[in-house]
Every structure is written in C-alpha cells, then in structure tokens.
Structure 1
Amino acid sequence: MSDVDQSNPEAEIEAIKHVIATVERAQNTESPDEFLGLFRADAIYTTAGGTRLFGLDAISAFTRQVLLAACQNTAAPADEVASTSNSRPVFDPH
C-alpha cells in the first residue's frame, strides 16, 4: 500500500477502509497472500492472544498456520470505520 497524504483526512479514512476491506476479503476467501500483502517486511503484528510477531516471515508462518485456518467455513464479521484519531509515537529521551 502506498503512503497516504496525512494532510488529507478523507484520503486517510479511505485508506483505512481499503485495509479493512482487504482483511475481510482475505479472511472470507481464505487468502493468506492477500492478507500478507498488507504488511511491510519489517512489520510487527500482535496476535489476538497478545503474542508479538516480528517481521513478515513470522507473520506469514502464523497466518498460514493459525489465523486463516480459524476462519474456515465462517464469514469474517463486517467492520466499518466509526471514528479515527491521530496516533503518533511519543518518545521520552530520559
């Protein structure tokens, strides 16, 4: 996914909607490749159980083994963007 113009809130919301639609479609069609296409090589993903996965290789292994297998024969719930807020890292130099 390309970078989104952060000075354009409508573009940011459309990008979020695109990600949600891609996740839903990937789950409904059991397509790990489509889901994994959302991640950069250096991504960090936290599972529903709280386990952190570092890097696309770890996320891919988890997804192919666990995540999408859990969705077999079930439809992913429909999600929608209800609200957004800007979240930026806060660094404490001390």
Structure 2
Amino acid sequence: MSVRLRGGRHRNPPEYRPEPKPKVLVEPPRPPIKLTPLIACSPETDPDVLWHIAREAPQLRKWLVANPAASPAMLEYIGQVGGPGVGEALCILLDSLDG
C-alpha cells in the first residue's frame, strides 16, 4: 500500500516496528532485615537500622552498646529508655573507658 503525496508522487508508509516495553525505573525494595544481635553490634550496619533497633527492639538494645558505630546520642537514648541488660552493658562500657 502506498500513500499519495502532492504532485502525484507515491510513498510507501513506514514499516511498523513495535517498541519494546520500557524497563521499570524503580527497583523493588530489599527484603526486610532480620534483626539479630549480630546486626545490632556490627559497625557495618546502616545507622538508620541501628536507630530502628534502638526505638523498636528493646531486647537488642544491649547489643547496640557493644557497637563501635553507635553514636553518643544513641547511647544516651538507650540509657534513658532502658531494656533488658542495658544497664549492665552500659556499666561494662563505662568501666572499659575508665581503665
């Protein structure tokens, strides 16, 4: 099939070529992290995850005290809100700093 142009000329229509579907620009979220003592005391753990543990996982707060990446603000928060073993962990930390 051709298309008639002005002046009586004919032109073939462009060949149909379907476009590929565009790639998804947003990657799916990473799977949830299982919160464990190892995650809580690892200096490689993202600070946002550490703060989440400090706020939401009282049973893991004592392990945050052992994390060298825990900020003074985080340690102060943990000292204020407490949790199982937090007092003892803070005493051990403070004793180690005195010696």
**TM-score normalized by structure 2?**
0.25
More helix by percentage = 2
Q: Which has the higher contact order (CA 8 A, sep 6+)?
A: 1
**TM-score normalized by structure 1?**
0.26
Larger Cα-atom Rg: 2
